[in-house]
Structure 1
């Protein structure tokens, strides 16, 4: 008997959204390196009433079906803030996105991408970028190198064959994102020690922990540095107040004061570094479910977290300092102080820095000085519609 014909439909009902969330758990079940995300967080991500990103974005979810069986999914979406940005920074007028792609086979993936493209054309978009799931601040890019490693917290993981499926749909790579790994139990190279020692002798410089009791105030300091430091970067879209509230709610439980540092020069905050213990190590065995005992396991871990891996998702130095020697000095000082705390207080042995844009020479130079190795590459693809 022939297979039922493939059909693509919008995923608008509650049942459709449940099926949209459930599909990756089946398709990735045999991948030992895939970390099942918490289903509750996935539901919030696609819910416009619970994801602050939708305050400046619109989107549509699609399901692919053969008969009654769900065999694929994709999102198509437009960030209205991104439309206002200079085209040389990746977005700009007419640029929409798709993401959250999962499919059983090549033909299904192609049909889903076509559906997303058609939706974007219907919204007068002239170019598509993908995969970006959903915000550029969430999980941008397709994993194209490093499939043998499980993802760290807030990073994506994809099957190797997706690369050919996307490229054969007419997409070309437009931006590569790197992550770097390093053994944090070892001392950094001697040149790093000399730079850090010189900074410690500079009375103008102060590297301090964040104060979790002043969480909102500290978050505003970091956000102000971030928006200045990253404003010229490819793909940069300023975080809005609703998104900041969401990030604060999500990250506050895994914010530890000695893992997030702010650098001050002459009393002014000019740089920051955020480090997170790899929560994926805890949630991986939960298979996406907080019930019946998953929530208790997470709460118990949060009391005194131990993690093999620490991820550095964000660093920033004010633009006016970025070409100076002090910028590298501040970065190395924060990295070293957090390295010591991660090893001594959390039992960590491994660090992962990223993602880092392929043209971010400042951060890539620091990674080289630290003798880090590239362990993963993510590719963002583009196609004119």
Structure 2
């Protein structure tokens, strides 16, 4: 039996307790999915805390919870990234573009009510276009999973039931961008052409592929993220990292960075490219059910010291724009991938890696993924809708 929207009440989330309810509701929805991985509750709370997540330094955010007969039945975030408003519209964001994220709903009526409330809030703020889901930043968990529900997500990737796509699309949303992740067996050598390209680069005295130096971590992460800000600046959906976000990322990422899995490529002594690889912490979070206490912290710390056999994810990679249309760009990419592959096998006995997300129009990265023999294993979608002006 269909329940009318009149039975659904949408309330704004306020304060610490409200944010806790918002997070716990999302955890309840996630627990229903067969391959979802419970994340650390403390980390989830931090992401929506204005005092702890530097994203709030350039964004206006409103969280909402839907209730039916006093029971929470859905949630959504409506937000405006003020840095994104300054970007060219052809890059996916731009003037008058608001966003939604953290979308969960009990049924289609709840979905409709939540999306309508987020749309209303954005329209009241002067937005004329709505995109999402983005939870919250493009750098956190972008997109709705539409293919790949049959296996667990890797670190920092969302997991959603298949029917969410139908519910969103029934609200006049259309696909604006697709994001892919690629699965790669790293136990096998790459094709001969890649081996020749790597060997040629290793003979080139101008090129140096080196691990990130943890003794200089603060400096190194700035090198990486400043290359990223340049390399990705023309990409769809790009929003530059602020200095506060770089500081925050440096602190949060350091415990899971393994130097020999993260490479910086230098040309004539100058850092021009990087590849970041993270061991899949979701593997241990699944074992401890996303809880640090009473014994989860012990298992987590032991795993962090030596994540043997861990799957790996390549979340970020970049080459300075001035080199992107040259042969050396792909050569540096193949060299970093191969050096990391060797180290992952010898140091951790890893067997699998996931590359992405990769934009559906990023022909260079798709070509690299295809050449090394990887294949698409998950697809995410970002939707858009014209919402007019109130």
Q: TM-score range by the shorter chain?
A: over 0.9
Aligned to 2:344: 342
Aligned to 1:227: 229
Aligned to 1:166: 168
Residues 301-310 or 316-325, more deviating: 301-310
Superposed displacement of residue 309, structure 1: 1.0
Tell me, what secondary structure is at the counterpart of 1:216? helix
Point out 4+ residue stretches in structure 1 off by more than 4 angstroms. Answer: none
Tell me, what secondary structure is at the counterpart of 1:152? coil
Residues 218-227 or 2-11, more deviating: 2-11
Matched, 1:68 2:62: no
Listed as ranges, the matches of 1:139-288 within 5 Å are 139-288=141-290
Cα 1:14–1:227 shift into 2, 3 Å: closer
Superposed displacement of residue 311, structure 1: 0.2
Aligned to 1:290: 292
**Pairing partner for 1:304 from 285, 303, 306:** 306
Superposed displacement of residue 13, structure 1: 3.6
The Cα offsets for residues 264-320 of structure 1, whole Å up to 9 and x where unpaired, read as 111111100000000010112322321111112111111212243100000000111
Matched, 1:87 2:89: yes
Tell me, what secondary structure is at the counterpart of 1:345? helix
Aligned length: 385
The Cα offsets for residues 126-165 of structure 1, whole Å up to 9 and x where unpaired, read as 0000100000000010001111121100111101000000
The Cα offsets for residues 156-181 of structure 1, whole Å up to 9 and x where unpaired, read as 11010000000001100000001001
For residues 27 and 44 of structure 1, the distance between their equivalents in structure 2, rounded to whole angstroms, comes to 19
Structure 1: any 5+ residue segments left out of the alignment? none
Q: 2:278–2:312: 8 Å Cα contact kept in structure 1?
A: yes
Q: 2:222–2:246: 8 Å Cα contact kept in structure 1?
A: no
For residues 315 and 15 of structure 1, the distance between their equivalents in structure 2, rounded to whole angstroms, comes to 38
Tell me, what secondary structure is at the counterpart of 2:31? coil
Tell me, what secondary structure is at the counterpart of 2:160? coil
The Cα offsets for residues 55-82 of structure 1, whole Å up to 9 and x where unpaired, read as 0001100000012211000000000000
Q: 1:281–1:307: 8 Å Cα contact kept in structure 2?
A: no
Superposed displacement of residue 246, structure 1: 1.7
Aligned to 2:57: 55
For residues 381 and 96 of structure 2, the distance between their equivalents in structure 1, rounded to whole angstroms, comes to 21
For residues 26 and 227 of structure 2, the distance between their equivalents in structure 1, rounded to whole angstroms, comes to 36
Q: TM-score, normalised by structure 1?
A: 0.98
Q: 1:99–1:133: 8 Å Cα contact kept in structure 2?
A: yes
For residues 193 and 352 of structure 1, the distance between their equivalents in structure 2, rounded to whole angstroms, comes to 20
Q: TM-score, normalised by structure 2?
A: 0.96
For residues 224 and 245 of structure 1, the distance between their equivalents in structure 2, rounded to whole angstroms, comes to 12
Residues 218-227 or 58-67, more deviating: 218-227
Listed as ranges, the matches of 1:56-135 within 5 Å are 56-135=58-137
For residues 339 and 65 of structure 2, the distance between their equivalents in structure 1, rounded to whole angstroms, comes to 47
For residues 184 and 148 of structure 2, the distance between their equivalents in structure 1, rounded to whole angstroms, comes to 15
Superposed displacement of residue 210, structure 1: 0.8
Superposed displacement of residue 89, structure 1: 0.3
